[in-house]
């Protein structure tokens, strides 16, 4: 029984930490209908500011905490001013994508500053523990609980009794009306970002001390947890975010108790999906129709796509096909093979995110399914590789569509959150389903590409295979876009209410688009698996999903050729300029930010 008490205490402590993240997210969502995906990066920044103060400058704990809160609040203000305010008035999803770009930049900035090596951040508090029943509580637990309570109380007082707090509440209720009544909504946004960032940074510091471990890769999971907690409590609902966080902390803690620590995140994301599907307004909202607010989910800037003549495309393909005959092309071939595989992923994503308007952040999950399907079919079922790859395409189309099905009824950034969760779930199921997927060991010895008896494992052959598959699927997708299906997908993107009035069944056409998209992504993942010869559940992470989205935006949403160009640009250019890996992420983030801000229609224009 004592163990259970410990798990409960642990759940509540972790829940408190999530609450510090989620409250800020809820405040921001309340006033600006934005999910701040940079929240986790601020949390990491808070941990590192704390580490610098405590370990380098030797400050006492209260000073460290104050420095973290102030430093992160300043960071929040900068983010709001530079990254988001200029986007006021653009598509709803634009600021969300901008915060993703900002998080890339922040994470990589921290990594360059502090190196990716993990550090320890010991708690300066005394090590005593109080016996409670048969569990124990330590000084740090009490500090975390107290921080949570004090923050909540201060926040409550601020919102309730200060003038600025009143302005925040007014803006959250109706920002247009608030503006007309003379509320300075810029000041409100700035305040809210400062509060959110200050609390987020504090959360990072406390987590660092709790686990005595910080590293620059902890941002993404933190963002996800904060978002999950907020969805559970109801987007924009501050008390709901606290309750959702505690619930999430407890669920995870009990899940770990029952099944082991590798199940922690699986529980979190399954809970996320259940809430999104059954109670999209959160557990604590009354049963009402989903607010009609975030209607415009698409990131489609009105533009006419560039009409690239067919012969020009044909010439480019021909030149690409002849490249292996050039001397000394081995390095270029390797880079471009990778680019073609990314391009396959990008055309897959541009179909759903661009043409259909469902901005998926879970495409890495599709790559994983494709990679595992082909690897396991070839290894464990003995299927020849030239059959296992297309089979993996079909498996991914079917599984991917089935998994995304619950998200079909959602709109706008709810779709992005749900697909992000689904992508994470795929990785976690692969990690935990050992009997099928070999679990954390991964799959070794994936056979190389072959066609019948012909070995295709030379760099030239791999290059041609990837290029040929890309051309084939690219042509197929272009052809599809010219039919009534392309028209129907775009109609759903532009106005799903009007599409239904025309007799369009949303489920059917979303299903078809995700199936076609899943096929291409699955093939890309499958070919990659045979080229890498080793895969595990982290071969494709959510960072890959975001990178693919950056490619899609760079090329022009929905634009097949644009997706290919975006993929070549983002995989090729860093090679040309010989950027090291750390700088690459920084560049991806900056490209995403600049495109959203200055050329939302992408290079070739949205289609």
Residue ranges in contact with another protein by CB under 8 A: 300, 302, 304, 476, 479-480, 483-485, 487-488, 490-491, 493-495, 497-506, 508, 511-512, 515-516, 606
Q: How far is the CB of 601 from another protein (least distance, A)?
A: 11
Using the minimum distance from each CB to another protein, give the nearer residue, 457 or 494.
Answer: 494
Using the minimum distance from each CB to another protein, give the nearer residue, 56 or 484.
Answer: 484
Q: How far is the CB of 478 from another protein (least distance, A)?
A: 11
Closest residue by Cα to residue 53 from 66, 34, 42, 44: 66
Q: How far is the CB of 203 from another protein (least distance, A)?
A: 36
d(Cα 499, Cα 504) in Å, to the nearest integer?
5
Q: How far is the CB of 143 from another protein (least distance, A)?
A: 43
Q: How far is the CB of 284 from another protein (least distance, A)?
A: 17
Output the CA–CA distances (angstroms, integers) from residue 569 to 230, 395, 602, 603, in the order listed. Answer: 36, 30, 12, 11
d(Cα 417, Cα 228) in Å, to the nearest integer?
9
d(Cα 466, Cα 75) in Å, to the nearest integer?
43
Q: Give SS3 for 130.
A: strand
Q: How far is the CB of 482 from another protein (least distance, A)?
A: 9
Please return the burial class of 420, using the count of CB atoms within 10 Å of its CB with bins 0-12, 13-18 and 19+: buried
Using the minimum distance from each CB to another protein, give the nearer residue, 338 or 606.
Answer: 606
d(Cα 128, Cα 216) in Å, to the nearest integer?
30
Using the minimum distance from each CB to another protein, give the nearer residue, 495 or 575.
Answer: 495
Closest residue by Cα to residue 335 from 595, 494, 192, 531: 531
- For 94, residues 6+ apart whose C-beta sits below 8 A from its C-beta are 87, 299, 596, 600
Q: How far is the CB of 222 from another protein (least distance, A)?
A: 37
**Helix, strand, coil: what percent of the chain each, to 5?**
75, 5, 25
- Residues 441-463: b if buried by 16+ CB within 10 A, e if exposed: ebbeebbebbeeeeebeebebbb
- For 518, residues 6+ apart whose C-beta sits below 8 A from its C-beta are 348, 366, 369, 393, 396, 397, 398, 399, 400, 401
Using the minimum distance from each CB to another protein, give the nearer residue, 539 or 601.
Answer: 601
Q: How far is the CB of 508 from another protein (least distance, A)?
A: 5
Using the minimum distance from each CB to another protein, give the nearer residue, 229 or 407.
Answer: 407
Q: Are 347 and 477 in contact (CB under 8 A)?
A: yes
Q: How far is the CB of 489 from another protein (least distance, A)?
A: 11
Beta bridge partners of 535: 443
The interaxial angle of helices 330-349 and 363-379, nearest 10 deg, is 120
Length of the chain in residues, anyone? 607
| Tokens read off for 322 | 């002849």
Output the CA–CA distances (angstroms, integers) from residue 338 to 88, 341, 467, in the order listed. Answer: 36, 5, 10
Q: How far is the CB of 355 from another protein (least distance, A)?
A: 10
Other beta carbons less than 10 A from residue 391's beta carbon = 18
Using the minimum distance from each CB to another protein, give the nearer residue, 393 or 574.
Answer: 393
Using the minimum distance from each CB to another protein, give the nearer residue, 4 or 405.
Answer: 405
Q: How far is the CB of 596 from another protein (least distance, A)?
A: 18
Q: Are 510 and 408 in contact (CB under 8 A)?
A: yes
Other beta carbons less than 10 A from residue 154's beta carbon = 12
Using the minimum distance from each CB to another protein, give the nearer residue, 33 or 490.
Answer: 490
DSSP 8-state secondary structure symbol assigned to residue 306: P
Q: How far is the CB of 510 from another protein (least distance, A)?
A: 10
Other beta carbons less than 10 A from residue 261's beta carbon = 10
Helix and strand tally (H, E) in the chain?
24, 4
Using the minimum distance from each CB to another protein, give the nearer residue, 187 or 475.
Answer: 475
Q: For 280, what's the count of Cα atoms within 13 Å in the CB-facing half-sphere?
A: 19
Using the minimum distance from each CB to another protein, give the nearer residue, 328 or 483.
Answer: 483
Using the minimum distance from each CB to another protein, give the nearer residue, 363 or 490.
Answer: 490
Q: How far is the CB of 607 from another protein (least distance, A)?
A: 9
d(Cα 407, Cα 411) in Å, to the nearest integer?
8
Query: Which spans in 260-329 are helix H?
Result: 264-278, 310-322
DSSP 8-state secondary structure symbol assigned to residue 215: -
Using the minimum distance from each CB to another protein, give the nearer residue, 250 or 285.
Answer: 285
Using the minimum distance from each CB to another protein, give the nearer residue, 186 or 494.
Answer: 494
Q: How far is the CB of 72 from another protein (least distance, A)?
A: 39
Q: How far is the CB of 498 from another protein (least distance, A)?
A: 4
Q: Are 396 and 366 in contact (CB under 8 A)?
A: yes
Using the minimum distance from each CB to another protein, give the nearer residue, 201 or 234.
Answer: 234
């Amino acid at each position: 029984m004592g163990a259970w008490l410990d798990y409960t205490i642990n759940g509540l402590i972790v829940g408190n930490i999530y609450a510090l993240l989620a409250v800020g997210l809820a405040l921001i969502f309340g006033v600006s209908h934005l999910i701040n995906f940079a929240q986790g990066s601020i949390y990491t920044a808070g941990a590192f500011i704390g580490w610098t103060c405590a370990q380098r400058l030797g400050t006492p704990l209260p000073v460290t905490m104050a420095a973290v809160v102030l430093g992160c609040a300043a960071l929040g203000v900068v983010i709001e001013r530079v990254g988001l305010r200029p986007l006021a008035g653009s598509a709803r999803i634009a600021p969300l994508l901008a915060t993703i770009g900002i998080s890339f930049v922040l994470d990589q900035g921290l990594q360059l500053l502090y190196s990716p090596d993990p550090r320890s951040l010991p708690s300066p508090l005394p090590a005593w523990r109080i016996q409670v029943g048969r569990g124990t509580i330590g000084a740090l637990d009490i500090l975390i609980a107290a921080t949570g309570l004090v923050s909540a109380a201060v926040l409550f007082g601020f919102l309730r009794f200060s003038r600025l707090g009143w302005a925040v509440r007014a803006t959250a209720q109706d920002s247009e009306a608030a503006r007309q009544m003379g509320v300075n909504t810029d000041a409100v946004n700035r305040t809210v970002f400062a509060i959110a960032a200050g609390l987020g940074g504090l959360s990072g510091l406390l987590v660092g001390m709790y686990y005595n471990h910080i590293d620059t890769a902890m941002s993404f999971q933190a963002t996800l947890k904060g978002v999950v907690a907020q969805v559970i409590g109801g987007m924009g609902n501050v008390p709901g975010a606290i309750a959702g966080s505690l619930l999430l902390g407890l669920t995870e803690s009990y899940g770990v108790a029952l099944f082991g620590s590798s199940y922690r995140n699986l529980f979190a994301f399954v809970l996320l999906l259940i809430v999104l599907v059954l109670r999209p307004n959160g557990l604590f909202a009354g049963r009402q129709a989903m607010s009609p607010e975030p209607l415009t989910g698409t990131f489609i800037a009105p533009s006419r796509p560039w009409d690239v003549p067919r012969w020009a495309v044909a010439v480019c393909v021909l030149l690409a096909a002849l490249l292996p005959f050039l001397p000394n092309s081995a390095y270029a071939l390797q880079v471009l093979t990778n680019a073609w595989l990314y391009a396959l992923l990008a055309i897959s994503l541009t179909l759903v995110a661009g043409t259909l308007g469902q901005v998926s952040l879970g495409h890495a999950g599709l790559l994983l399914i494709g990679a595992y399907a082909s690897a396991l079919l070839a290894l464990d079922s003995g299927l020849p590789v030239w059959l296992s790859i297309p089979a993996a395409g079909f498996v991914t189309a079917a599984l991917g569509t089935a998994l995304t099905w619950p998200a079909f009824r959602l709109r706008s950034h709810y779709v992005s959150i749900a697909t992000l969760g689904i992508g994470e779930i795929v990785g976690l199921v692969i990690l935990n389903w050992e009997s099928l997927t070999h679990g954390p060991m991964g799959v070794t010895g994936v056979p190389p590409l072959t066609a019948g008896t012909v070995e295709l494992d030379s760099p030239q052959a791999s290059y041609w295979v990837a290029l040929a598959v890309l051309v084939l699927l690219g042509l197929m997708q272009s052809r599809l876009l010219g039919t009534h299906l392309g028209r129907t997908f775009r109609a759903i993107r532009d106005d799903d209410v009007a599409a239904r009035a025309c007799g369009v069944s949303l489920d059917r056409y979303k299903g078809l688009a995700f199936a076609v998209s899943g096929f291409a992504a699955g093939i890309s993942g499958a070919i990659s698996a045979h080229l890498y010869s080793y895969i595990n559940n982290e071969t494709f992470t959510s960072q890959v999903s975001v990178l693919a989205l950056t490619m899609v935006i760079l090329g022009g949403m929905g634009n097949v050729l644009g997706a290919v160009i975006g993929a070549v640009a983002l995989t090729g250019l860093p090679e040309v300029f010989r950027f090291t890996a750390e700088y690459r992420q920084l560049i991806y983030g900056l490209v995403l930010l600049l495109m959203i801000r200055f050329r939302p229609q992408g290079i070739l224009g949205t289609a």
